[in-house]
Amino acid sequence: MTQPSDKALVPFVSVDNMMRLIHHVGIDAMLRDLASYIEADFHRWELFDKTPRVASHSDVGVIELMPTSDGEAYGFKYVNGHPKNTREGLQTVTAFGLLADVYTGYPVLLTEMTLLTAMRTAATSAMAAKYLAPAGADTMAMIGNGAQSEFQSLAMRAICGVTTIRLYDTDPAATAKCAANLAGTGLRVISCASPEEAIEGAQILTTCTADKQNAKILTDNMVGPGVHINAIGGDCPGKTELAAGILNRSEVFVEYPPQTRIEGEIQQMAADFPVTELWQVITGSAKGRRDAKQITLFDSVGFAIEDFSALRYIRDKVKNTDFFYELDMLADPDDPRDLFGMLQRARTT
Protein backbone atom coordinates (compact mmCIF):
# COMPACT_ATOMS: atom_id res chain seq x y z
CA MET A 1 0.00 0.00 0.00
CA THR A 2 1.25 3.50 -0.81
CA GLN A 3 2.58 5.33 2.24
CA PRO A 4 1.34 8.87 2.87
CA SER A 5 3.69 11.70 2.00
CA ASP A 6 4.99 14.09 4.65
CA LYS A 7 2.63 16.84 3.49
CA ALA A 8 -0.34 14.56 4.21
CA LEU A 9 0.72 13.95 7.82
CA VAL A 10 -0.73 16.29 10.43
CA PRO A 11 0.94 16.85 13.83
CA PHE A 12 -1.39 15.79 16.64
CA VAL A 13 -0.82 16.72 20.29
CA SER A 14 -2.58 14.21 22.51
CA VAL A 15 -3.63 14.79 26.12
CA ASP A 16 -0.59 12.82 27.27
CA ASN A 17 1.76 14.88 25.12
CA MET A 18 0.11 18.14 26.19
CA MET A 19 0.75 17.22 29.82
CA ARG A 20 4.35 16.31 28.98
CA LEU A 21 4.80 19.61 27.14
CA ILE A 22 3.36 21.68 30.01
CA HIS A 23 5.71 20.04 32.52
CA HIS A 24 8.64 20.35 30.11
CA VAL A 25 8.08 24.09 29.68
CA GLY A 26 6.89 24.62 33.27
CA ILE A 27 3.38 25.71 34.25
CA ASP A 28 4.36 29.28 35.17
CA ALA A 29 6.52 29.72 32.08
CA MET A 30 3.80 28.37 29.78
CA LEU A 31 1.17 30.63 31.34
CA ARG A 32 3.44 33.61 30.73
CA ASP A 33 4.19 32.44 27.18
CA LEU A 34 0.50 32.04 26.38
CA ALA A 35 -0.27 35.49 27.79
CA SER A 36 2.45 36.94 25.54
CA TYR A 37 1.03 35.22 22.44
CA ILE A 38 -2.51 36.37 23.31
CA GLU A 39 -1.36 39.92 23.98
CA ALA A 40 0.51 39.98 20.65
CA ASP A 41 -2.65 38.90 18.82
CA PHE A 42 -4.75 41.49 20.68
CA HIS A 43 -2.31 44.09 19.31
CA ARG A 44 -3.32 43.01 15.79
CA TRP A 45 -6.99 42.45 16.66
CA GLU A 46 -8.30 44.32 13.64
CA LEU A 47 -6.64 41.86 11.23
CA PHE A 48 -8.76 38.92 12.38
CA ASP A 49 -12.04 37.55 11.10
CA LYS A 50 -14.44 37.81 14.02
CA THR A 51 -17.76 36.15 14.65
CA PRO A 52 -19.65 35.05 17.77
CA ARG A 53 -19.13 31.37 18.38
CA VAL A 54 -21.51 29.00 16.64
CA ALA A 55 -23.50 27.38 19.44
CA SER A 56 -25.85 24.41 19.53
CA HIS A 57 -27.79 24.51 22.80
CA SER A 58 -29.69 21.65 24.42
CA ASP A 59 -31.45 21.19 27.73
CA VAL A 60 -28.26 19.75 29.26
CA GLY A 61 -25.52 21.90 27.77
CA VAL A 62 -23.99 23.48 24.71
CA ILE A 63 -21.63 22.46 21.90
CA GLU A 64 -19.76 25.26 20.18
CA LEU A 65 -17.37 25.99 17.34
CA MET A 66 -15.04 28.98 17.66
CA PRO A 67 -13.40 29.97 14.34
CA THR A 68 -11.10 32.81 13.31
CA SER A 69 -8.34 33.67 10.82
CA ASP A 70 -5.63 36.29 10.49
CA GLY A 71 -5.43 35.78 6.72
CA GLU A 72 -2.41 33.46 6.90
CA ALA A 73 -3.63 30.81 9.34
CA TYR A 74 -7.14 29.62 10.18
CA GLY A 75 -8.06 28.11 13.51
CA PHE A 76 -11.09 26.72 15.24
CA LYS A 77 -11.92 25.08 18.54
CA TYR A 78 -14.65 22.55 19.25
CA VAL A 79 -15.80 22.89 22.87
CA ASN A 80 -18.71 21.73 24.97
CA GLY A 81 -20.17 22.97 28.23
CA HIS A 82 -22.26 20.46 30.18
CA PRO A 83 -22.53 21.34 33.91
CA LYS A 84 -24.40 18.10 34.67
CA ASN A 85 -21.40 16.05 33.53
CA THR A 86 -19.57 16.22 36.86
CA ARG A 87 -22.42 14.30 38.50
CA GLU A 88 -21.75 11.53 35.97
CA GLY A 89 -17.98 11.50 36.47
CA LEU A 90 -17.31 13.48 33.28
CA GLN A 91 -15.68 16.84 32.56
CA THR A 92 -17.96 19.88 32.29
CA VAL A 93 -15.80 21.21 29.45
CA THR A 94 -13.82 19.30 26.82
CA ALA A 95 -12.22 20.67 23.68
CA PHE A 96 -9.97 20.09 20.72
CA GLY A 97 -8.67 22.50 18.10
CA LEU A 98 -7.20 22.73 14.63
CA LEU A 99 -4.87 25.19 12.92
CA ALA A 100 -4.66 25.31 9.12
CA ASP A 101 -2.65 27.07 6.41
CA VAL A 102 -4.89 29.54 4.57
CA TYR A 103 -2.86 29.27 1.34
CA THR A 104 -3.39 25.51 0.91
CA GLY A 105 -6.28 24.89 3.28
CA TYR A 106 -4.26 22.01 4.76
CA PRO A 107 -4.33 21.45 8.53
CA VAL A 108 -0.96 22.00 10.19
CA LEU A 109 -1.93 21.07 13.77
CA LEU A 110 -4.60 19.09 15.59
CA THR A 111 -4.49 19.22 19.36
CA GLU A 112 -6.36 18.48 22.53
CA MET A 113 -7.64 21.73 24.01
CA THR A 114 -9.23 20.76 27.32
CA LEU A 115 -5.99 21.37 29.19
CA LEU A 116 -4.92 24.05 26.72
CA THR A 117 -8.20 25.97 27.17
CA ALA A 118 -7.71 25.96 30.95
CA MET A 119 -4.20 27.35 30.45
CA ARG A 120 -5.23 30.01 27.88
CA THR A 121 -8.28 31.08 29.91
CA ALA A 122 -6.10 31.60 32.97
CA ALA A 123 -3.46 33.40 30.91
CA THR A 124 -6.12 35.71 29.44
CA SER A 125 -7.54 36.50 32.89
CA ALA A 126 -4.11 37.40 34.24
CA MET A 127 -3.25 39.42 31.13
CA ALA A 128 -6.44 41.46 31.64
CA ALA A 129 -5.73 41.87 35.36
CA LYS A 130 -2.25 43.17 34.52
CA TYR A 131 -3.96 46.13 32.84
CA LEU A 132 -7.06 46.48 35.04
CA ALA A 133 -6.33 45.38 38.62
CA PRO A 134 -5.35 47.97 41.24
CA ALA A 135 -1.63 48.60 41.64
CA GLY A 136 -0.02 46.25 44.14
CA ALA A 137 -2.87 43.73 44.15
CA ASP A 138 -1.64 40.66 46.01
CA THR A 139 -4.82 38.83 47.09
CA MET A 140 -7.44 37.11 44.96
CA ALA A 141 -10.77 35.61 45.99
CA MET A 142 -11.42 32.48 43.94
CA ILE A 143 -15.16 31.80 44.08
CA GLY A 144 -15.92 28.50 42.39
CA ASN A 145 -13.20 25.94 42.99
CA GLY A 146 -13.73 23.60 40.06
CA ALA A 147 -11.44 22.65 37.19
CA GLN A 148 -10.37 26.23 36.38
CA SER A 149 -9.51 27.38 39.90
CA GLU A 150 -5.91 26.19 40.18
CA PHE A 151 -5.02 27.50 36.71
CA GLN A 152 -6.52 30.91 37.51
CA SER A 153 -4.64 31.09 40.80
CA LEU A 154 -1.29 30.13 39.32
CA ALA A 155 -1.67 32.54 36.39
CA MET A 156 -2.42 35.44 38.72
CA ARG A 157 0.71 34.53 40.68
CA ALA A 158 2.94 34.10 37.63
CA ILE A 159 1.78 37.20 35.72
CA CYS A 160 0.39 39.62 38.33
CA GLY A 161 2.34 38.75 41.48
CA VAL A 162 -0.63 37.57 43.55
CA THR A 163 0.55 35.85 46.72
CA THR A 164 -2.69 34.96 48.56
CA ILE A 165 -5.72 33.02 47.32
CA ARG A 166 -8.96 32.96 49.30
CA LEU A 167 -11.11 30.01 48.23
CA TYR A 168 -14.85 29.44 48.39
CA ASP A 169 -17.18 26.92 46.77
CA THR A 170 -20.65 25.71 47.68
CA ASP A 171 -19.08 22.24 47.70
CA PRO A 172 -16.45 22.04 50.48
CA ALA A 173 -14.86 19.07 48.70
CA ALA A 174 -14.04 21.29 45.73
CA THR A 175 -12.36 23.82 48.01
CA ALA A 176 -10.38 21.05 49.72
CA LYS A 177 -9.29 19.74 46.32
CA CYS A 178 -8.12 23.16 45.16
CA ALA A 179 -6.31 23.90 48.43
CA ALA A 180 -4.52 20.54 48.25
CA ASN A 181 -3.50 21.10 44.63
CA LEU A 182 -2.12 24.56 45.41
CA ALA A 183 -0.12 23.38 48.41
CA GLY A 184 3.58 23.78 47.80
CA THR A 185 3.15 26.35 45.01
CA GLY A 186 4.27 29.27 47.18
CA LEU A 187 0.77 30.70 47.37
CA ARG A 188 -0.84 31.40 50.73
CA VAL A 189 -4.17 29.57 50.47
CA ILE A 190 -7.11 30.32 52.78
CA SER A 191 -10.29 28.23 52.64
CA CYS A 192 -13.41 30.26 53.40
CA ALA A 193 -16.92 29.37 54.54
CA SER A 194 -18.80 31.98 52.48
CA PRO A 195 -18.29 34.26 49.48
CA GLU A 196 -18.39 37.24 51.85
CA GLU A 197 -15.46 35.80 53.79
CA ALA A 198 -13.59 34.97 50.58
CA ILE A 199 -13.66 38.54 49.22
CA GLU A 200 -12.51 40.04 52.52
CA GLY A 201 -9.28 41.93 51.81
CA ALA A 202 -9.09 40.72 48.19
CA GLN A 203 -8.31 43.22 45.43
CA ILE A 204 -9.11 40.72 42.64
CA LEU A 205 -12.41 38.80 42.72
CA THR A 206 -12.65 35.84 40.33
CA THR A 207 -15.99 34.10 39.85
CA CYS A 208 -16.00 30.76 38.05
CA THR A 209 -19.08 28.68 38.75
CA ALA A 210 -20.60 26.05 36.48
CA ASP A 211 -24.37 25.97 36.98
CA LYS A 212 -26.34 27.24 33.98
CA GLN A 213 -28.57 29.79 35.69
CA ASN A 214 -28.92 33.51 36.34
CA ALA A 215 -27.13 33.41 39.67
CA LYS A 216 -25.93 36.21 41.95
CA ILE A 217 -22.64 34.85 43.25
CA LEU A 218 -21.71 38.44 44.07
CA THR A 219 -24.51 40.76 45.19
CA ASP A 220 -24.27 44.52 44.82
CA ASN A 221 -23.64 45.21 48.51
CA MET A 222 -20.73 42.72 48.63
CA VAL A 223 -18.50 44.68 46.24
CA GLY A 224 -16.75 47.77 47.49
CA PRO A 225 -14.68 50.31 45.57
CA GLY A 226 -11.23 49.71 44.14
CA VAL A 227 -11.47 46.03 43.19
CA HIS A 228 -11.04 44.22 39.91
CA ILE A 229 -13.64 41.55 39.11
CA ASN A 230 -12.64 38.71 36.81
CA ALA A 231 -16.00 37.17 35.83
CA ILE A 232 -15.37 34.02 33.82
CA GLY A 233 -18.25 31.71 34.75
CA GLY A 234 -20.95 33.36 32.65
CA ASP A 235 -20.37 32.03 29.15
CA CYS A 236 -23.73 31.27 27.56
CA PRO A 237 -27.26 32.72 27.37
CA GLY A 238 -29.11 32.41 30.67
CA LYS A 239 -25.93 31.99 32.73
CA THR A 240 -24.67 34.89 34.85
CA GLU A 241 -22.90 35.31 38.20
CA LEU A 242 -23.13 38.99 39.14
CA ALA A 243 -25.94 41.25 40.31
CA ALA A 244 -26.79 43.90 37.73
CA GLY A 245 -26.09 46.62 40.27
CA ILE A 246 -22.39 45.70 40.23
CA LEU A 247 -22.24 46.21 36.47
CA ASN A 248 -23.86 49.63 36.82
CA ARG A 249 -21.07 50.70 39.19
CA SER A 250 -18.22 49.19 37.15
CA GLU A 251 -16.20 49.99 34.08
CA VAL A 252 -16.83 46.85 32.04
CA PHE A 253 -14.24 45.40 29.66
CA VAL A 254 -15.04 42.68 27.14
CA GLU A 255 -13.42 40.65 24.38
CA TYR A 256 -15.92 40.88 21.50
CA PRO A 257 -19.14 42.78 22.30
CA PRO A 258 -21.48 40.94 19.87
CA GLN A 259 -20.63 37.68 21.63
CA THR A 260 -20.45 39.02 25.19
CA ARG A 261 -23.86 40.72 24.92
CA ILE A 262 -25.32 37.26 24.22
CA GLU A 263 -23.31 35.18 26.68
CA GLY A 264 -21.67 37.41 29.30
CA GLU A 265 -22.74 39.25 32.41
CA ILE A 266 -23.89 42.15 30.23
CA GLN A 267 -26.67 40.00 28.76
CA GLN A 268 -28.61 41.33 31.77
CA MET A 269 -28.20 44.92 30.61
CA ALA A 270 -29.68 47.10 27.86
CA ALA A 271 -28.34 46.63 24.35
CA ASP A 272 -26.51 49.95 24.51
CA PHE A 273 -24.87 49.31 27.90
CA PRO A 274 -21.38 50.85 27.54
CA VAL A 275 -18.36 48.57 27.42
CA THR A 276 -14.70 48.90 26.45
CA GLU A 277 -13.00 46.29 24.30
CA LEU A 278 -9.92 44.84 25.97
CA TRP A 279 -7.79 45.02 22.83
CA GLN A 280 -8.21 48.80 22.87
CA VAL A 281 -6.72 48.97 26.36
CA ILE A 282 -3.80 46.77 25.34
CA THR A 283 -3.04 48.89 22.27
CA GLY A 284 -3.37 52.12 24.27
CA SER A 285 -6.36 53.46 22.33
CA ALA A 286 -8.58 53.25 25.45
CA LYS A 287 -7.89 53.62 29.15
CA GLY A 288 -8.00 50.72 31.57
CA ARG A 289 -8.06 51.48 35.28
CA ARG A 290 -8.41 55.23 35.82
CA ASP A 291 -8.14 55.55 39.61
CA ALA A 292 -7.74 53.58 42.82
CA LYS A 293 -11.46 53.64 43.73
CA GLN A 294 -12.77 52.45 40.37
CA ILE A 295 -14.34 49.00 40.03
CA THR A 296 -13.09 47.29 36.88
CA LEU A 297 -14.86 44.21 35.54
CA PHE A 298 -13.52 41.84 32.89
CA ASP A 299 -16.65 40.16 31.53
CA SER A 300 -14.79 37.25 29.98
CA VAL A 301 -16.61 34.63 27.92
CA GLY A 302 -13.59 33.38 25.93
CA PHE A 303 -13.07 34.33 22.31
CA ALA A 304 -11.70 32.51 19.27
CA ILE A 305 -8.65 34.77 18.91
CA GLU A 306 -7.40 33.57 22.30
CA ASP A 307 -7.68 29.97 21.10
CA PHE A 308 -5.92 30.94 17.87
CA SER A 309 -3.07 32.37 19.95
CA ALA A 310 -2.87 29.14 21.95
CA LEU A 311 -2.84 27.06 18.76
CA ARG A 312 -0.06 29.25 17.33
CA TYR A 313 1.93 28.75 20.51
CA ILE A 314 1.57 24.95 20.46
CA ARG A 315 2.45 24.81 16.74
CA ASP A 316 5.64 26.74 17.42
CA LYS A 317 6.52 24.93 20.64
CA VAL A 318 6.26 21.33 19.40
CA LYS A 319 8.43 21.83 16.31
CA ASN A 320 11.47 19.53 16.37
CA THR A 321 10.24 17.79 19.54
CA ASP A 322 8.64 14.45 20.37
CA PHE A 323 5.55 16.04 21.91
CA PHE A 324 3.29 15.07 19.00
CA TYR A 325 2.29 12.21 16.72
CA GLU A 326 1.77 12.41 12.99
CA LEU A 327 -1.74 11.51 11.81
CA ASP A 328 -2.56 10.29 8.32
CA MET A 329 -5.56 12.60 7.94
CA LEU A 330 -5.32 13.88 4.37
CA ALA A 331 -5.76 11.94 1.14
CA ASP A 332 -2.70 12.65 -1.01
CA PRO A 333 -2.86 10.89 -4.42
CA ASP A 334 0.18 11.11 -6.71
CA ASP A 335 -2.12 12.79 -9.23
CA PRO A 336 -4.36 15.29 -7.36
CA ARG A 337 -7.12 14.59 -9.92
CA ASP A 338 -7.03 10.82 -9.38
CA LEU A 339 -8.49 10.26 -5.93
CA PHE A 340 -10.40 7.19 -7.13
CA GLY A 341 -7.22 5.69 -8.56
CA MET A 342 -5.55 6.01 -5.15
CA LEU A 343 -8.51 4.18 -3.63
CA GLN A 344 -8.32 1.40 -6.20
CA ARG A 345 -4.59 0.89 -5.64
CA ALA A 346 -5.24 0.33 -1.95
CA ARG A 347 -7.47 -2.70 -2.60
CA THR A 348 -6.47 -5.93 -0.90
CA THR A 349 -7.03 -9.32 -2.47
Question: Got the DSSP string for 67-118?
Answer: EEE-SSEEEEEEEEE-GGGGGGTS-S--EEEEEEETTT--EEEEEE-HHHHH
Provide φ and ψ at 227, rounded to 5°. Answer: -100, 160
* Cα–Cα nearest to 108, from 324, 342, 343: 324
Residue 63 pLDDT: 95
**Does the structure show a pLDDT above 50 at 1?**
no
Categorize the per-residue pLDDT at 211 as very low, low, confident or very high, splitting at 50, 70 and 90.
Answer: low
Active site residue 101: no
Residue 6 pLDDT: 66
Catalytic residue among 235, 299, 307, 332: 235
* Cα–Cα nearest to 299, from 247, 264, 259: 264
Looking at the DSSP bridge assignments, the partners of residue 79 are: 64, 95
Residue 243 pLDDT: 93
Domains and CATH numbers, the chain: 6-115+305-345 (3.30.1780.10), 124-303 (3.40.50.720)
Provide φ and ψ at 71, rounded to 5°. Answer: 95, -20
To the nearest 10°, the Cα dihedral for 289, 294, 298, 299?
-140
Residue 18 pLDDT: 98
Say which residues have a Cβ less than 8 Å from residue 97's Cβ, sequence separation at least 6: 75, 76, 77, 78, 110, 111, 113, 116, 307, 310, 311
Categorize the per-residue pLDDT at 3 as very low, low, confident or very high, splitting at 50, 70 and 90.
Answer: very low
To the nearest 10°, the Cα dihedral for 192, 194, 197, 198?
60
What distance in Å separates the CA atoms of residue 276 and residue 257, rounded to the nearest whole number? Answer: 9
Task: Between 4 and 229, name the one with better pLDDT.
Answer: 229
Kindly state the average pLDDT of the residues 223-241.
Answer: 88
**Does the structure show a pLDDT above 90 at 133?**
yes
- Please report, in angstroms and rounded to a whole number, the separation of the first and last CA atoms in the chain: 12
Chain mean pLDDT for the chain? 94
Least confident of 112-126, 204-218, 284-298: 204-218
* Cα–Cα nearest to 112, from 274, 343, 346, 314: 314
* Cα–Cα nearest to 77, from 88, 92, 63: 63
Residue 163 pLDDT: 98
Kindly state the average pLDDT of the residues 248-265.
Answer: 96
Provide φ and ψ at 48, rounded to 5°. Answer: -85, 145
Dihedral sign for Cα 135, 140, 143, 146, please.
positive
Question: Got the DSSP string for 308-324?
Answer: HHHHHHHHHHHTTSSS-
- According to DSSP, the β-strands at 73-81 and 95-101 are antiparallel
